[in-house]
Structure 1
Amino acid sequence: MTWSENQRVSDITSGIENGWIGLFRDPELCWSDGSSFYQGSVPFGSVTVLCGYTSLYREMKWMLMRRQVKLPSVCYSLQGWLILPVCPLRHYYFVDKPLTWSEAQTYCRQKYTDLVTIENAAVMSQIQELVSSSHHNTGFWIGLYSTINWKWSDGLAGSGANYRNWSSKGHVFAMNRFCVYSKHSAWFTRDCGALQYFVCQNTTGIQENRQFVRVTTPMNWSTAQAYCRENYADLVTVTSADENQQVWKLLAHLGFVWLGLFRDPELYWSDGSSFSWSNFIPFGTLMGWQTVLCAFTSVKEEMQWRLKSCEARLPFVCYSPHVTRQVVKLRIELDDSSVDLNNPAVKEELLKKLQARLEEDGVSGAALKWRQQPDGKVFHKEEDEGNPPAC
């Protein structure tokens, strides 16, 4: 059904509160091992794939949740059941030593792996608990940083492209403020979705015959950009104080005016992880004229994130990956009984072969080493368990 058809149905059923339409779906509930599904109490949501979980605190009723969420799990085999807890993927370390962000990054990379990456609320809670246990309430660095790279919609670079007329307080950072508007000829940042008047230009780049055109239909920044590109050349680029005054005079009586200046979020984690979850404080942070800012947080401010100069000195949190250690007993049968398995060269060669075999089987990243016995040896010859000597 199209939008128009939906409107027709709405008109036909005017006065009727509810009515069936032909849209449906099958339950499509499946057990992991292929068993048939026959009962359960599950509230369905709008997500395309959900996974089932239960809880003692909810009287073992079944619920659905996104499959990305980490929970303990219960496995079964023919012999019985096995409960598997959620194992931590990383270890975190609070370093109560004030350093600049770059110095903290270097410290973490030398001693551990990197500055902490916080990809969800669960990790944030772990960090909060860690820092709280150290009785530290002020700010500390995390591994996030932002490059502030303002660009003109028409792509102008070089001469004139760096002209700015920020308000006296400088531009303000906030997670949703990526577009620039002019008010009384001073520039401010704002949510790109706000509706405002704007100015187009009839040519791109710096040209003597470039003309500015005012548009008095309020639009968001992206729509204004598309409108200017379709009907003129682009949103206005301001390259000098004189041009800034020209733009302002066009719409001085109308208040806020979109300019063609914008920036991409450009938020990065130190370890290269993709940025997909944030906990930035809802109001802005003054950025002044800086081009790179680094993120910090504090227990006192409920772990909300802020940006500040990377040259400030703060404590910080590092991480290292969780390493699982497993001891495996190895039995080796020798064709040549003269080979000494405790010879360092022989042990080294065996490790290389074992490592290669693991990689062939798809196991990568495993670090192998021999475990010495109390007598300093790794290998011991098995006692002969054959027939006992005759009496």
Structure 2
Amino acid sequence: MERILLAVLCLSVWSISTCLLHQYHYVHELKTWTEAQSYCRRHYTDLATIENSSEVDQLINAVSDKSVSEVWIGLFSEVDWRWSDGYTGNESGYRRWCAGWSEPNFWAADQFCVFYCSSGWWDYGCEEGLPFICFSGTQFVYINQSLSWTAAQSYCRSNYVDLATVKNPSDDQMIQNVTPSDSSAWIGLFRNPNFNWPDGSSFSFTYWYDDFNPLNSLKIICGVAYLKNSGKWRFVPCDNRRPFVCHGTPSVVKKQTVKLRMKVEDSSVDLNDPVIRADILKKLQEKLNMTGVTLKWGEQPDGKVFHKMKEHRQKKNKKKTEL
């Protein structure tokens, strides 16, 4: 993608608009996350979206009651545990979390993979190095190499079938039999981050609080800004009741449209691919590095952002002829 971007930053025709920071509104009513969102959508735009450090400060300043420790913001995440081999059968929901540490506890919002130990399963940072357990098709195999979860998955898929799927207590016991006492090892359970803002804003800026975010058996977790710790974010059950912060469209919005002609060096690159468009926009936003300015693509009536110059001229001439 980096190679593509170097070529793409000389591309076709695009337009951007800029606007001021979000305008935040504190509401001192205790509501669940869903109730708070409904309120914000009725009276403003939505629960607060935060896209940079300046907006963190702005949100903190918007909270008039300085005794409040936490407020709902729009952040939420879907908790969808999956097995590496894709197993979704009747026993795919078997879990043996370590109760003593309230696992899975999602420390600092950065634990998306699972390891086995005799006391139970733990969620853990996927980049950490651990031994791991493969499945050969007939038995579990303990591999005493310290690899990240992703590297362990690749190893198992290359040499066996996949990382271990644990369907029931019998599987759990077999894993215990092949794993050295007091050893930890990756198994195939994982999940994707699935971090979201309700208004669909990009999730490129993060501000996590270094503490537990207990998941228990929750399917969705919701975000609060912890005002007693510089407004850092953490997750709590969505049915908790908190005051909250909404955001609304600023009363004064300054927009500017810019059109550029760019050249694509690689003709196979589809600039209208949503992934490429998003990556280009992110790079441009980083390069601009201006507080309170947000870049957005300006779509044409056909839904595209980019058009080849020849195609663009033909459409323009056709429109003139029709007039």
Fold shared, TM-score > 0.5 on shorter chain:
yes
Please point out which of 57, 79, 96 is paired with 1:148. Answer: 79
1:215 aligned residue: 143
- The Cα shift of 1:284 comes to 2.3
Q: Residue 228 of structure 2 aligns with which residue? A: 300
Question: What residue is the counterpart of 1:184 in the other structure?
Answer: 118
C-alpha distance in structure 2 between counterparts of 1:285 and 1:324, whole Å:
38
Distance 1:216 1:282, change over 3 A: same
Q: 1:171 aligns with which of 99, 104, 110?
A: 104
Superposed displacement of residue 307, structure 1: 0.5
Equivalent in the alignment of 1:106: 38
Deviation of the 1:299 alpha carbon: 2.0
Pick the aligned partner of 1:117 from 23, 39, 49: 49
Distance in 2 (CA, whole Å) between partners of 1:255 and 1:325 is 58
State the one-letter code of the partner of 1:176. D
**Aligned pair 1:201/2:135, yes or no?**
yes
Pick the aligned partner of 1:279 from 189, 192, 207: 207
Q: Is the Cα–Cα contact under 8 Å of residues 89 and 321 in structure 1 kept in the other structure? A: no
* Higher RCO structure, 1 or 2 (CA under 8 Å, sep 6+): 2
Structure 1 equivalent of residue 279 of structure 2: none
Aligned residue pair count:
237
**Equivalent residue for 2:297?**
none
Report 1:14-93 matches (<5 A): 88-93=20-25
Q: Does 1:251 align with 2:184?
A: no
Measured in 2, the distance between the counterparts of 1:87 and 1:218 equals 48
Question: Deviations along 1:288-308, whole A, 9 cap, x unmatched?
Answer: 211111001232122111111
Partner of 1:230, secondary structure, is helix
RMSD: 2.1
Which stretch has the larger CA shift, 274-283 or 143-152? 274-283
SS in 2 for 1:226: helix
- Counterpart check, 1:263 vs 2:194: no
Q: Secondary structure at the match of 2:55?
A: helix
Are the counterparts in 1 of residues 112 and 126 from structure 2 also a CA contact under 8 Å? yes
| Partner residue of 1:241 out of 163, 169, 175 | 169
Cα-to-partner distance string for 1:332-383 (whole Å, 9 max, x where unaligned): xxxxxxxxxxxxxxxxxxxxxxxxxxxxxx9xxxxxxxxxxxxxxxxxxxxx
TM-score by length of 2: 0.69
Q: Is the 8 A contact 1:297 1:303 kept in 2?
A: yes
- In the alignment, the residues of structure 1 paired with residue 181 and residue 62 of structure 2 have an alpha-carbon distance, to the nearest angstrom, of 54
**Whole-Å Cα distance in 2 between the matches of residues 211 and 277 of structure 1?**
43
- The DSSP-based 3-state class of the residue aligned with 1:288 is coil
Deviation at 1:194, TM superposition (A): 1.4
% identical aligned pairs: 36
Deviation (angstroms), 1:185: 5.0
Query: What is the distance in 2 between the residues matched to 1:219 and 1:136?
Result: 46
Greater Cα radius of gyration, structure 1 or 2:
1
Q: For residues 298 and 184 of structure 1, what CA distance do their matches in structure 2 show?
A: 35
Give TM-score, length-normalised by structure 1: 0.58
Contact 1:181 1:256 in 2 (8 A): yes
Give the deviation of 1:229 after TM superposition: 0.2
Residue pair 2:82, 2:189 contacting (<8 A) in 1 also:
yes
- Bigger share in helix: 2
Query: Are the equivalent residues in 2 in contact too, given 1:185–1:244 (CA < 8 A)?
Result: no
Q: Counterparts of 1:216 and 1:315 in 2: how far apart (Å)?
A: 49
Counterpart check, 1:94 vs 2:22: no
Q: For 2:158, what is the secondary structure of its paired residue? A: helix
The CA distance in 2 between the partners of 1:318 and 1:220, in whole Å, is 39
Q: Using the alignment, how far apart are the partners of 1:163 and 1:201 within structure 2?
A: 17
CA–CA distance in structure 2, aligned partners of residues 284 and 107 of structure 1: 28
Task: Give the Cα separation in 1 of the matches to 2:162 and 2:253.
Answer: 60
Shift in CA distance, 298/253, structure 1 to aligned 2, threshold 3 Å: closer
Q: CA deviation at 1:277?
A: 1.2
Q: Which AA in structure 2 matches 1:172? A: N
For 1:156, the aligned partner's letter is Y
The structural deviation recorded for 1:87 is 7.0
C-alpha distance in 1 between matches for 2:253 and 2:87: 56
Consecutive unaligned residues of structure 1, counting only runs of 5 or more, are 1-47, 49-85, 204-209, 327-361, 363-391
Check conservation: 1:185, 1:245, Cα contact below 8 A: no
Cα distance 1:102–1:285, how it changes in 2: closer, same or farther (>3 A)? same
Q: Which amino acid aligns with 2:120?
A: A
Match of residue 227, structure 1, among 143, 148, 155: 155
